[in-house]
Amino acid sequence: MVRLHHFLLLFLLGFNPAMAQTAAPTNAAAATPVAPRAQPVNPGTAPLGVPGGVIVHWYGHGFVYLTSSFGIRCAIDPFGSQTVHYQFPVHLAADFVLVTHEGEDAGAADQLFGDPLIFRSVMAVGLNRANGIPFYGIATQKDPDGQGVANTAFTVKFDGIKFCSLGQPYAPLLAREREQIGKCDVLFLPIGVQALGVGDLDQMVRDLDAKMVIPITYKTDLSGSLSLRPLEDYLAATKFPVRKLSTDEIVVTKSTLPDRPTIYCLKTPSTASTSAPAPQ
C-alpha cells in the first residue's frame, strides 16, 4: 500500500500539466536579467525597484525621491503648497524622509503616505539609520546675515551609489563640511540659490568629486515669489558638460555614472505630469 501511494504521488507530480506550466516561466524569468531602464512613476502606487539601479525622480523645486533596487523609498525636501506651485504627487508613499531645512518649501513630510520615518534638519545631524540604510546629516554654516534657517546636507547610499543633497547652503563649503560629506557619486545641486555664484556651485562639484550633477531648486514658472536663479543662467556659465533629458526621472547604476562631472538636467515637472501616470 505504501508503494502504491508513492507511485501515485510521483505520477501526479510528474504528469500534472498545470504544475509543469507554472514552473517554466518562473525559471525562465530567473535566468533572464532585467536591464536597468527608466520607469515612469505612477503617483498612485509605489515605483518598482530596478535591479542594480536607483530610480531618481524629481518632483520640482528641491523635492527628490529615490527608490532603491530593493524598493526602499527616500523622499528629500517635499515641498508644501503655499510657497511653490508644483503639484504634490497623489498618494505617494515613502519609507523615510530627509528635510534639509525647516521651510514650507521643503518640510511638508506630512503629505507623504506610508507612515515614514522623518528626519528634520539639525535634529538629524550625524549618523542615522532608517530601514537598514545608514545616512549622514552634515550641518552647514549659517547665513552670515542671520536671516536664513539652519541647513543640513544629507548623504545616503543606495545600491553602492552615494547621493548627496546640499539643501539650502548660504556659502561655499568649509573644509570641515567637505570632509564630513566626503566624495559622492550623484549630487543634487541647488543651482538657484542666489547667495552662491556659479563659480561657487562648480567648486562644490569639484570639492565633492561628484560625477552626476542634477540641478534642483531653481526658478521656474512654478516657483512662486521665491528669488532664485533660472536654470539657463547656470548652464550658460558652468564649466561642466550638460545633458538635457526629456523626462523628470532617471535610473542610476554604477556602470552608467559618467567618468567626469556632468550636469544632468531633468525635465521640469508640470502640474499634469505629477497628477497622472506618465506615459509608458
- The answer, yes or no, to whether residue 35 has pLDDT greater than 50, is no
In angstroms, how far is CA 147 from the centroid of its own chain? 29
pLDDT of residue 271: 58
**How much is the pLDDT for 52?**
81
pLDDT of residue 273: 41
Rounded to the nearest 10 degrees, how much is the dihedral formed by the CA atoms of 235, 98, 145, 230? 20
Average pLDDT, the chain: 83
Q: Is 166 a member of any domain?
A: yes
Residues 120 and 20 in one domain: no
The answer to whether residue 232 scores a pLDDT higher than 50 is yes
Task: Look at the chain and report how many structural domains it folds into.
Answer: 2
* 13 and 70 belong to one structural domain: no
In a domain, 278, yes or no: no
Residues 66, 170, single domain; the answer is yes
Same domain, 60 and 154: yes
Same domain, 71 and 124: yes
Domain residues for the domain of 103 are 41-265
Tell me the torsion sign for CA atoms 83, 84, 88, 93.
Answer: negative
Amino acid in the structure at residue 79: F
Predicted TM-score (pTM) of this structure: 0.80
Q: Pick from 161, 154, 183: which is nearest to 68 by CA? A: 161
Residues 6 or more apart from 111 whose CB is under 8 A from it?
78, 80, 88, 92
| Set of cell numbers at residue 239 | 564649466
Do 87 and 8 fall into the same domain?
no
Give the helix/strand (H/E) hosting 9: helix 2-15
The CATH number that applies at residue 228 is: 3.60.15.10
Is 5 a residue whose pLDDT tops 50? no
Same domain as 146, residue 25 = no
Mean pLDDT, range 217-225, rounded to an integer: 96
Q: How far apart are CA 6 and CA 124, in angstroms?
A: 62
Confidence of residue 49 (pLDDT cuts 50, 70, 90): confident
Q: Which three cell numbers stand for residue 17?
A: 500539466
User: Is 45 inside a domain boundary?
Assistant: yes
**What is the structure's pLDDT at 47?**
55
Q: Based on the domain organization, do 1 and 73 belong to the same domain?
A: no
